[in-house]
Structures are given as C-alpha cells and as structure tokens.
Amino acid sequence: MTSALLTDRYELTMIDAALRDGRALRPSVFELFARRLPTGRRYGVVAGTGRFLELLRDFRFGDAELAWLRDERVVSPATIEFLADFRFSGRVRGYREGELYFPGSPLLVVEGSFAEAVVVETLALSVFNYDSAVASAAARMVSAADGRPLAEMGSRRTGERSAVAAARAAWIAGFGATSNLEAGRTWGIPTMGTAAHSFTLLHASEEEAFRAQIDALGAGTTLLVDTYDIADGVATAVRVAGPELGAVRIDSGDLAPTVAAVRAQLDALGNQRTKITVTNDLDEFAIAGLRSAPVDSYGVGTALVTGSGSPAAGMVYKLVAHHDADGAWVSVGKKSEAKATVGGRKQPVRRLVDGVAVEETIHVEDPPAGPEAGRTLLVDLVTDGEVDAQAIGIEGTRRAREHHAAAIAELPLEAQSLARGEAAIPTVYR
C-alpha cells in the first residue's frame, strides 16, 4: 500500500507553488530534531527509522491517489503530472536507530530537491514523534526494572497500527516481548500471553479455568490469580499445577505488599520456582517503587504506548540549507522567538571521556577534525534513492536493539535517574 497520502495538504500545495516559481527542484537540506526533551527527561531514544525507510521506499502516487487529488483540486494539473513520476531519489542520513538524542540533535537529515525533501515531512514526523516517544519511555522503564524483564501489553490502549509500532519501539529500547502478534510477525519480536479474567469468568470455578488452561498450555503457564481472592487464587493455582507452575500474574491491588504476601505463600506451598509477574497500570515510577519487592517480571500497557505522559517527542522538520539561483549553498534558519533554528549543514559528534558521553558536539558546515573529536553520529540510510537494506525489516530492528544497548551504556550514571533534571549531556554548536 502506498504511503503517499499519509501527509498534510500543505506539503503538496508548497510543491505546487514552488513548481510555478521555479524553486521546486533546487537542492535542499532538511533536518528533523527536537528543540527540547519532554520535561525532566535526561535523554531521548531514536526509534522509527526502519519504519520510515520502508514507508519512504513505497512513497508513490498511484492512479487512485492522483485521481483523488485531481477531483479534489488539491494541486494544479501540472503538479499532478509531476507527482505521477515522483520517486525519492535523494540522500538520507541519520542517527542509527536505537541511538540516544538530545536537544538539537539532527537525528535525520534529508537531502534532495526541495519538492522531494519537503513532501516527506509529515511522514517523517508522524513516525519519529510517536516511535521515539514510546522508545524513550520504554528505556526509562527498562532502567527502573533493573534487569528484570518487561513485556509490552498496550495494544488495547492505542490505535491498531500504533500498537504494532509501539511494540517495535519498546523492543528496541530493551523490552523482552510483546502481546501483539502482528508485531511479532512483522518485526520478529518474541510474543507472549496466556489468559485474561474473562477466561476465568467463563468457567464455573477458578479451579476449572486453571485446569483448562494447564491442559492447553502446560503447567509452566502463567495463571492470573486475582479474578476473585488473590490468596485463594494462589492456593488453587498451586493445587492444580503443582511445583511446576511457571508463574502467577497479579493485575490489581496494592502491589508491593500483595507481591510480598504471594511470594511468601508460594514458598510456603513448595513453589519456590514459581515466578510472579505484575501488570497493573505500571509506569517507570511504579516499576521503580517495586524494586525491593519480589517481582520477577512486568507487563506494561497504557503508560508505554502513550509515552508515559509525553505521547509525542516534540520533533520538528526544518529547512536548513538550499541552493540559490547561482547554485551556491545558502544556510537558512528561523528567527522566531523560542523557535529559532540553526541553519547550515551539520556534522554531529558525541564526545566521550573514558567511554562516557560528556557532550553532543554539532559542527556547523565544517566537519569534525578527526576521530579524536568523538563518535560520529550520522550514517547513510538512503543513497540516490536506495534504502540501506541493513536498516529495515527484522534484521534492521534487531540491529537497532543492539545499538541502543551500546549507546545507553555510554551515558553517565546520573542519566538513569527518574527524577526531573537537565539533559544528561549538553548540546554544543561549533
């Protein structure tokens, strides 16, 4: 399915006007970046790159799309003809997916004619704003979990396509599994899930429901024990499954004391190996509050797919340079109060001291002076319209997860704090 109309009308009307005045084909450079991080956050996580590249690859105006644009008189007939032959033929560079970003980080750089670079603006922003918001929240939850596994379970709390994107973003940031089957099929993410309260309520008794589940899934399954009384549910689960019971899930109540009581009960019944997972409206703060509780794993839904209070990453897409009438590069930037931008082509570098990130250095126009300047951040994602195959699909998603783990290991220790604070490292323009 084409992604061409996943855009705002003004992208096409700008092309229409630029074709009329002869500027549509001028080489241009756009950057996607966030002016600031969500309030109190120490870093952001780049996510959505692989999805965006696949959508860009399929960005075509077919007969149906062109007919609709013509019928609605969105643009002139000449522009319809231009769009009929449209293929992105430019260059895209960006931070590797899974990388960390800070205020001003040019995490996507799109180079091409004005027309082909501007027409993908809405598509890029819709993907990166959502996916990066989810990944950034997920990374904080992974930090709060302190090594204990997390599963993404938010499909019923967002749009059906957003659910798949959210699962992917969370996995890149360190979650271990998703409940969403399409995310598993499309992106190769491990899937998990057993039964909801409705399955228990379908049966005449909790014991009958547990026996039915064990008959289907084996004693190593996870039994949901809080449909009625939790202590009774745990006792019934152990009676039915025995010491081989894999786990019990708790989805309600005051979790810290409840989990402690369940752990003690399981141990007393001889089920020391049975694990406890919790799934009750968790966010990074609730997870951190359970660090001292005997929780073995977490399932997170609403807070994750809504970015834990920041459902969009606040990214913008701005023109920073273009050719003038004589073919010379001109740096451009907004001067608006609180929305000023830095013009010019940029080369961002992360400066490290003893392997720890200390500064995001953004060189304007002039490239960094050798490897001692730090770790360069931009990589080629699209060259002459051809998407880098290593950045897309299941393998691209796996690579993003691996890169995220390496990037987050470079952060100073205080960056993992959930308390409000400034960005973990400063952004400096040179």
Q: What is the pLDDT of residues 254-290, one digit of tens each?
A: 999 999 999 999 999 999 999 999 998 999 999 999 9
The pLDDT value given to residue 430: 86
Three-class DSSP labels, the chain: CCCCCCCCHHHHHHHHHHHHHCCCCCEEEEEEEECCCCCCCCCEECCCHHHHHHHHHCCCCCHHHHHHHHHCCCCCHHHHHHHHCCCCCCEEEEECCCCEECCCCCCEEEEEEHHHHHCCHHHHHHHHHHHHHHHHHHHHHHHHHCCCCEEECCHHHCCHHHHHHHHHHHHHCCCCEECCHHHHHHHCCCECCCCCHHHHHHCCCHHHHHHHHHHHHCCCCEEECCCCCHHHHHHHHHHHHHHHCCEEEECCCCHHHHHHHHHHHHHHCCCCCCEEEECCCCCHHHHHHCCCCCCCEEEECHHHHCHHHCCCCCEEEEEEEEECCCCCEEECCCCCCCCCCCCCCEEEEEEEECCEEEEEEEEECCCCCCHHHCEECEEEEEECCEECHHHCHHHHHHHHHHHHHHHHCCCCHHHHCCCCCCCCCCEEEC
Whether residue 122 sits in one domain with residue 163: no
What pLDDT, in 10s, does the model give residues 325-381? 999 999 998 888 778 888 899 999 999 999 999 999 999 977 666 656 789 999 999
Determine, yes or no, domain membership for 4.
Answer: no
Whether residue 188 sits in one domain with residue 55: no
CATH number of the domain at 301, please: 3.20.20.70
Q: Residue 71 pLDDT > 70, yes or no?
A: yes
Q: Per-residue confidence at 412, pLDDT binned at 50, 70, 90?
A: very high
Whether residue 359 sits in one domain with residue 423: yes
Determine, yes or no, domain membership for 318.
Answer: yes
Q: Which of 257, 291, 306 is the last residue of a domain?
A: 306
Q: What is the mean pLDDT of the chain?
A: 95
- Token pair in block for residue 418: 């959930």
Q: Phi and psi dihedrals of 125, rounded to 5?
A: -65, -40
d(CA 396, CA 104): 25
Whether residue 276 sits in one domain with residue 170: yes
Number of domains in the chain: 2
Query: Would strands 150-152 and 297-300 be described as parallel, antiparallel, or unpaired?
Result: parallel
- Mean pLDDT across 410-427: 94
Determine, yes or no, domain membership for 140.
Answer: no
Determine, yes or no, domain membership for 2.
Answer: no
- Mean pLDDT across 109-120: 97
The pLDDT value given to residue 177: 98
Whether residue 273 sits in one domain with residue 155: yes
The pLDDT value given to residue 338: 74
The pLDDT value given to residue 370: 62
d(CA 236, CA 162): 38
The pLDDT value given to residue 334: 84
The pLDDT value given to residue 333: 87
Determine, yes or no, domain membership for 349.
Answer: yes
Whether residue 361 sits in one domain with residue 319: yes
The pLDDT value given to residue 368: 62
- Token pair in block for residue 398: 């796996």
Determine, yes or no, domain membership for 381.
Answer: yes
Determine, yes or no, domain membership for 139.
Answer: no
Whether residue 291 sits in one domain with residue 325: no
d(CA 137, CA 170): 8
d(CA 77, CA 75): 7
In a 13 Å sphere around the CA of 148, the CA atoms on its Cβ side amount to: 22
Nearest to 282 by CA among 274, 291, 273: 291
CATH number of the domain at 422, please: 3.20.140.10
Domain that holds residue 74: 9-134+310-429
Q: Per-residue confidence at 32, pLDDT binned at 50, 70, 90?
A: very high
Whether residue 300 sits in one domain with residue 156: yes
Whether residue 233 sits in one domain with residue 215: yes
Determine, yes or no, domain membership for 286.
Answer: yes
Whether residue 289 sits in one domain with residue 219: yes
Q: Which of 306, 339, 358 is the last residue of a domain?
A: 306
Whether residue 172 sits in one domain with residue 119: no
What pLDDT, in 10s, does the model give residues 184-218? 999 999 999 999 999 999 999 999 999 999 999 99
Q: Residue 97 pLDDT > 70, yes or no?
A: yes
Q: Which of 252, 278, 306 is the last residue of a domain?
A: 306
- Mean pLDDT across 152-161: 96
Whether residue 259 sits in one domain with residue 163: yes
